[in-house]
Structure 1
């Protein structure tokens, strides 16, 4: 899919449902579900994920990299947040633009291989832009359709931790903190619109690692802090 400016898309072109996994099947990073374990690294994981996705999408699948969330956590430092104690996805995207981020993945994926031909500096990938999104649903949809998955920051309550399926909307439980996730699409079920989202709590949580959250009501502040950016190819 060729990248075009979001304003080139008319509201009438937005489908009832959209799934980035189906739109860009040549990009294997999009469906991957990660596990942040006991580290509050969601901000770095979600940012690394959309950078990986958007490099693949913008290059038509010719460039496929697993961008390192650990590199963001380790190197962005206080400019992005506080490592495993939380951080800011927009600051992480800005770091990607100004300082670059290297490749890498989980230790189990054997991403650290002996004889890798590039130095740390040579392995860096840079962004062209980093930006926050409008809260308007149609603007968010156009951004995803045009350039790929985005990061959403939102408020987590106790009932979200207990989510096991369906369309989530906050009803009960105390506030637990902020969380960042990757939004890959949207849909509608029995008249209720939702966002389709990859979480980073492994595949035994939610709907095989994903969740759906009500769309258009800014539930838990979900539509208020969305972040994206474009890669420099």
Structure 2
């Protein structure tokens, strides 16, 4: 590895020198992010510059102020996330930061950017709000379906007013940015095909540093966010490559048989890694096959519980041979269980190794190493899920991966309004639960390699149905 990295250094240094010449041209406002189309009726992430979104934000802003008893006008200072869904019109779900301006309602007729925010954070009184707006363009009609606001957490909130930088400070910050980017390229063995591509990735990297800082300032847990191996990808690129758009399409999900309840309540903590039921962390690569890894991880645990033998089972078999799902384009655990029953079982990772792209089905029935008899859906109560996990083994689950792109370690606890359960987009494996310094967590095996998070694991706050972690829990059954 050292030799490989040392050979990359001249290329990295060359890129950094080129980038240093143009770093002053970086714009603080970030990038226009293209919208990634989804299936009809599925929620789709939006760029901040989307005209329909801007109209919806203005409408929500106006309705907020009409309903408010405050003396001063409040306006949106930052769009944190936004999506839309086609439902007899367009339904926008928008999470924003909103702050108090110096304009009084009695003195101005309309909200305007000329209404400046208070510079002192205690006077600005920033809130985080979720607005849901239903827009019917052909009727020129908009309706505010939902407004849910809460004060920004007590951590230091970044000020909205931007102070002009001196030349010396600009130079210092540019050098710090370049140093971080160079370290990122070395750590994750990155190289780019051209100067233009390197400049583009630097701009994305800079924007992502700001996003990670925002996540850090608003997180209610103990998580650390920052530079990860995904720091040179836009949010849309990350979602398109690594996440699973099929998970939020509820109409595609079939009804599963309910699991029998656990016989007793869960203990304070449990970890199947300590009992031999969890294989090493794997890496799905640049393929949206998280659903396959979630299911094979579950079956590995079920097979261990029944036989005492821990096998590493083949995800590639599902990517190639599951005709109900879309390989690297996403899939549903419920479909995967049916496909495995139909095929007759799973081969091992050794016999049917992972390539990270769809190829022709090479399944051989004579090499089946593990089989399942059926599958079940778990209840939505987190205590019931924990109790079932202890008695039966690791659980296939899914969640909204909003906070995962820049997660480094600790217990992640994003604000609920950032991590809606109706935007579930990533399948994982629940292997245990417990507490750290009094903070409860789910221990989640991910499929992005051991160089992600805590040795490949993500820890999420347990007990408030955060990010929809309780919505799609399931398991295979081995008799």
Give the one of 255, 264, 270 matched to 1:10. 264
CA distance in 1, matches of 2:311, 2:438: 38
Spell out the pairing of 1:190-229 with structure 2 (5 A cutoff): 190-229=437-476
User: Partner of 1:53 in structure 2?
Assistant: 301
User: Partner of 1:70 in structure 2?
Assistant: 316
What is the deviation of 1:223? 0.8
Spell out the pairing of 1:178-197 with structure 2 (5 A cutoff): 178-197=425-444
* Number of residue pairs matched by the alignment: 209
Larger Rg: 2
Change (3 A) 1:133 1:107: same
CA distance in 2, matches of 1:133, 1:140: 7
Deviations 1:127-146 (A, max 9, x none): 12211110112221122111
Deviations 1:53-86 (A, max 9, x none): 2101111x1x443221111121112x1x210011
Change (3 A) 1:65 1:107: closer
CA distance in 2, matches of 1:228, 1:108: 22
CA distance in 2, matches of 1:174, 1:225: 15
Retained in 2: the 8 A contact 1:99–1:126?
Answer: no
CA distance in 2, matches of 1:140, 1:121: 34
Give the one of 101, 121, 124 matched to 2:345. 101
CA distance in 1, matches of 2:388, 2:424: 27
Deviations 1:9-43 (A, max 9, x none): 222xx211100011x23x4xx04101011011100
Retained in 2: the 8 A contact 1:154–1:222?
Answer: yes
User: Is 1:140 aligned to residue 388 of structure 2?
Assistant: no
Give the one of 127, 138, 144 matched to 2:372. 127
TM value normalised by structure 1: 0.80
Give the one of 290, 312, 322 matched to 1:42. 290
Retained in 1: the 8 A contact 2:317–2:352?
Answer: no
What is the deviation of 1:100? 2.5
- Secondary structure of 1:160's counterpart equals coil
Retained in 2: the 8 A contact 1:6–1:142?
Answer: no
- Secondary structure of 2:401's counterpart equals strand
The CA RMSD measured in Å over matched residues stands at: 2.7
CA distance in 1, matches of 2:460, 2:261: 26
CA distance in 2, matches of 1:187, 1:173: 24
| Structure with the larger helix share | 2
- Secondary structure of 2:284's counterpart equals coil
Change (3 A) 1:140 1:47: same
Retained in 1: the 8 A contact 2:316–2:352?
Answer: no
